[in-house]
Amino acid sequence: MTTEEETRRSIGAKRNPKSAEAIREAAEGLLLEEGYRGFSIEAVARRARAGKPTIYRWWPSKAALLLDVYHRQKRDVESPDTGSLEEDLLRFLRSLFRNWRETPAGNVFRSFIAEAQTDDTAAAALADYARERRIHTARMISRARERGEVGAEVDPEVVADLVASYAWSHLLTGRLDEGDDALRAAIGIIVNGAARRPVPE
């Protein structure tokens, strides 16, 4: 039989949509105004007028809240299927860079990566997120392999890692203003390799 204490605990564990939204908004506003250094669960709780236990019940770590805020900000990133791998990757990276550049999502994700350098929970969350994104991006390469556009021996997840490495390095070094020519050149190297090929006569 469920005790009264267990019932209260069960009810309390459910997210109240209005309270959860207030906490997300507080976290987002704090990151925008104070940056990563001013971001803490205590500061979010004060701003949202919520209890720390409530926040920790719904987001078990600072990293979990950061990642939730990132998902809230990250929008309008294309997952194209044009029939051309290079065009798919161009549209994907163009929209990702624009999103990171023109919304708070870029700063939030940088903060999340910074947290992962000193916090094991954040590092594990980042690894899980990277794994999900690798699978997502690899679908573009898998479709290209099915079309015969890339060799059957090509591992889609390895190519996805190369794309992610290019994107993340640009995010972390503030180089999100790359134009289409630069993106096409980088994608060409990722897709076709850097080895010198004989010029056809």
pLDDT given at position 36: 81
Residue 32's pLDDT is what? 84
User: Rounded CA gap, 150 and 81, in Å?
Assistant: 15
Which pLDDT tens digit goes with each residue over 98-108? 999 998 889 88
User: For domain 72-192, which CATH number applies: 3.40.50.11540, 1.10.357.10, 2.30.30.230, 1.10.3720.10?
Assistant: 1.10.357.10
pTM: 0.81
User: What pLDDT score does 197 carry?
Assistant: 66
Better-predicted residue by pLDDT, 151 or 5: 151
- Reported confidence tier of residue 4, pLDDT bands at 50, 70, 90: very low
Cβ neighbours around 183 below 10 Å, total: 20
Residue 145 is encoded by which pair of tokens? Answer: 């392999």
Task: Give the model's pLDDT for residue 168.
Answer: 97
pLDDT (average), residues 154-173: 97
Dihedral angle of Cα 180, 126, 139, 95, to the nearest 10 degrees: -30
Taking phi over 0 as left and psi of -120 to 50 as alpha, with beta for the rest, 2 belongs to beta
Q: Which two tokens stand for residue 25?
A: 């908004």
The pLDDT of 55-78, averaged and rounded, is 88
| pLDDT for the residue numbered 189 | 95
| pLDDT classification of 190: cutoffs 50, 70, 90 | very high
- pLDDT for 167-181, tens place per residue? 999 999 999 999 999
Helices (H), 59-197: 62-73, 85-102, 105-116, 120-146, 156-172, 180-192
Task: Determine the topology of domain 4-59 in CATH.
Answer: Arc Repressor Mutant, subunit A (1.10.10)
Q: Where are the domains of the chain?
A: 4-59, 72-192
